[in-house]
Structures are given as C-alpha cells and as structure tokens.
Amino acid sequence: MLIGRKLGMTRVFTESGESIPVTVIKASPCFVIDRRTEERDGYTAYVMGFGEKKEQRVRKPVLGLCKKAGIPPVEAIREFRVDDTSVFDVGEKVPVSLLQKGDRVNVVGFSKGRGFQGVVKRWHFAGGPASHGSTFHRTPGSAGAGTYPGRVEKGKKFPGRMGNNRVTVKNLEVITLDEEKGLVVVRGAVPGFINGLVLIKIDDNIDVSARKELAKEKLEKAKVEAEREKVEEKVEEVVVEEKAGEKKEEKAEAKVDKKEDKVAKIKDKTKKAEKKEEKVEEKVEEVVKVEEVVVEEKVEEKKEEKAETKEGKAEEVVVEEKVEEKVEEVVKVEEVVVEEKVEEKKEEKAETKEGKAEEVVVEEKVEEKVEEVVVEEKVEEKTEEKVETKEEKIEVKVEEVVVEEKVEEKVEEAKEKAEEKAEENVEDKEEDTEKKEEKIEAEKEAIEAKNEDVEEKKEEEAIEAKTEDEAKEVKDESEQEEKEAEEEEEENQSKEKGDS
C-alpha cells in the first residue's frame, strides 16, 4: 500500500554476472490522510497521499484534508482497502522500509494510450495478402453469419481505442531499496509512461506492524550514527586545530629564532659602527687640536708682527689663506668620512628599524659639520673674532657630545630591550627543554623497569635450566647405579652356575 512514481527502467548485475531488467519507482513521501471505518463508511481502508505540491496548485477540498491531517499539500490521493486500520495513524508518513529485498509485490498502473487502432495492431490480426490484385489487406473481414443469428456477437474483436487501461502486474520481486531517497527497484516492467503514478500493493502475508517497528529502529540507529559522525567530525576538527596550533607555535619559534639571529647581527653591526665612529671621532679631534694649536700660534705671531710693522697685514692675509686651505682640506676629509657613514647607515636602514635613528644622528652630525664650516668661514673673514668663534666651537662640540650621549642612551635602551626579549625567549626554551628532559627521564625509567623485568625473567630461566640439568645428572647417576647392580647380579649368577 504505497503510491509511487515510475522513474524509468535500467538493469542490475548480480554477483554471478547476470543482467536483470528493473524498474525504478520513487515511493516517498507517502502520507496517511484519513481512515475509512465500517461504522461510518461501511468498509475499512486507508486514504493515502503522495508527493508534495504548492498550496496555490492544489484544490481546496484536498488542501482541507491535508491541513486536517497535519501534512503538506499532496499531489495525488488513493485508497487502499485493508482489514486493520490501527497500524498507521492519520498524518503519519509511511516509510519505504516496509518492503524488504526479495519481497513479492503487485504493481498497478495505467498503460500507455495508443488512440484508435485497427485490428492488426490492436488484436494482432494477420491481415490479407500485400501483393497486387488483392482487395483485402488490413480490414477486419466478415463480422458474422447473415441468416442466423443475423447479428454480431458480443465480444467480437473490432477496431477501437487502444491502451490507457488499468493494468496490474503481479509477483514482481523487490531487488533493492534506497530508504534515504525513497526508491524501490522492482524486477521487470511496470505499466505506464515515465513519471506516471503507480500503486504498490504489499502481500497480505507480510506483518506490516513488525516491519514498521523495524523501520523505527533503523531510523533511531541512523540518528545515532549521524550524531556519532557529527561528534567524530568535531573531534577531527579539534585535532586539526591542535595540529594547526602546534604548527603556529613552531612557526612562531622559528620567527623568534630568526629575530634573535637578526638582533645578534644588528649588535655586531652596531659594535662595528661604534668602533668606526670612535676612530673617526679620534681623527677629527686630533685634526681639530692641531688646527687650534696652529691657529693660536699664528694669531700670536701676527699680533706681534702687527704691532711692529704694517707689513704684517699682508703676511696675515697670506697666513689666513693658508689657514683657509687647511680648513678646506679638513672639511673635505670630514665630508668624505661623513658620506661613508651615511652610506653605511643607509644599508643598515634596509635591514633594521634602528638604522633610522642612526641615520638621523648622522644627518644631524652632517648638519653640525656644515655649521662648523660656516663658522670656520666666518672665522676666516674675521680673524679678530677668533676667540669668540673658538668659544662657539666649544659650545657646538658640547652640544655634539650631548647628542652623542643621547644617541648612546637610545642605543643602550634598544640593546637592553633586545637582551630582555632574548632572555625571555631563552627562558621559554629552557622550560621546553626541562619538559623534554622530564619526558626523556620518564621514558628511561620505563625502559629500565622493562630491562629489570627482562633480567629477572632471564635469571628465572637460568635457574630453571640449572634445576633441569641437575635433575638430568641425578637421573643419569641412578641409571648407572642400576646398571652396575644388574652387572653384579649377573656375575654372581654366573659364579654360582660355575660352582654348581
């Protein structure tokens, strides 16, 4: 008692390789809409609906029945007469699992309509000759006697409408079932065109209530399995997340190691740069000291000569020109040194962010050197104000020293931060190594315990072997004693015989 839709025919191969022609029927969803009772209707039957449809495409009487039963609008309604209507309730869905593989069912459907056909196609008449001269080809021929009975008998085969008749195909075997998709695969052909409605009648000998309980159990098991699968998927997701976290930790550790390497490289480079700066500063200080001494000596000489003769002016001009030349040479040397520093700092700037601060410091130094050159030019123009310019130079140097101290402080702070980070990373690595050592110690203890058990077993086996060897020796000694006693008895017997 199922309603279905014929999807078409195909074939299935058995294990032995036999090809079986089958028809696929979709028999779900199938609902119980109402029940007929003897008290109210005079007979017992199920009113069943098949398929689903939109509300605007269903007639109002059918829609009212479906709403009363609490089911969605159905596509088709059919009745099945049964003896007991207590198996299914109104509104309940009838499962395909009522059928099982190997069951025999009767399938009812309407055959394909052929329209008005002649006797040759409709009743398989042979027809007349097809050669020339024959006037009888596909006509029915005589319809009966003329005198008696003088009429056409009932049931005479004539041309007429062919097909579109209700046909029942009996004892079709159920080959397979697909409960999820609601498919029933039946052996053989089923009447009707593709997508036509068919009725599947179950044999009366089958216990439908027991099949219903089995179907419920299967559904419950399927739900449990689905829940298990969901739990397993969640567990797998958790495992994958844990692995991803481990990979992230490994990547983070690798990044930390790289950063530590970079910090070490930066430290080395900063040390080298500091050494270069110290050398350059020493050279600059030496040059400045020499210049100051030379300038002071020449200023004193010029003052003395100026007081004596007026010609000192010309000589002073010459001295000033020489001083200017030396100052220009010193400035060029300083500019070359500064340019080299700037290029080195630019290269370091591409590798680390600390290069920015150092480049700024270098630029400040360049600006300060330019200021010094300007000051020196002013000194060349006004030799009388050299004392004042010396004081200004001293102030500028003091400012440079202050700036250098600030830069050194910043570098020291950056170094301290890098050292703190390195110490933290080292502590984390030490903790990891401690954990790994604990694991290794535990494994060693387990291995030692296993070795002790193996040694004990070996000692027991050795003791058993010794006991077996001792027992064999005792047996051998007893056998030798028995043999000696037997030989002595034989000798005594032989002696007694000789005396006799």
> pLDDT, tens digit, for every residue of 52-94?
999 999 999 999 999 999 999 999 999 999 888 888 889 989 8
Is there a contact between 8 and 26 (Cβ–Cβ < 8 Å)?
no
| pLDDT (0 to 100) of residue 355 | 47
363 phi-psi bin (left φ>0, alpha ψ -120 to 50, beta other)? alpha
What is the distance between the alpha carbons of residues 476 and 472, in angstroms, rounded to a whole number?
6
| pLDDT (0 to 100) of residue 362 | 47
Provide the 8-state DSSP code for 143: -
How many angstroms separate the Cα of 442 from the Cα of each of 431, 433, 438, 455? 17, 14, 6, 20
What is the distance between the alpha carbons of residues 189 and 112, in angstroms, rounded to a whole number?
13
Handedness of CA 102, 108, 114, 118 (dihedral sign): positive
Query: What does pTM read for this prediction?
Result: 0.47
As a CATH number, domain 2-117+161-206 is 2.40.30.10
| pLDDT (0 to 100) of residue 33 | 94
Is there a contact between 6 and 23 (Cβ–Cβ < 8 Å)?
yes
Largest CA distance in the chain: 184
CB-based contacts of 110: which residues, under 8 Å, 6+ apart?
164, 165, 166, 167, 191, 192, 196
Is there a contact between 183 and 26 (Cβ–Cβ < 8 Å)?
yes
Beta strands in 138-253 (DSSP E): 160-162, 166-178, 183-187, 197-202
What is the distance between the alpha carbons of residues 71 and 92, in angstroms, rounded to a whole number?
8
Beta bridge partners of 176: 185
H-run or E-run covering 63: helix 60-69
Beta bridge partners of 35: 46
Handedness of CA 320, 326, 332, 337 (dihedral sign): negative
Peptide bond into 29 cis (omega under 30): yes
The residue ranges of the chain whose pLDDT is under 50 are: 312, 353-362
Q: Which candidate, 293, 272, 291, places its Cα nearest to that of 283?
A: 291
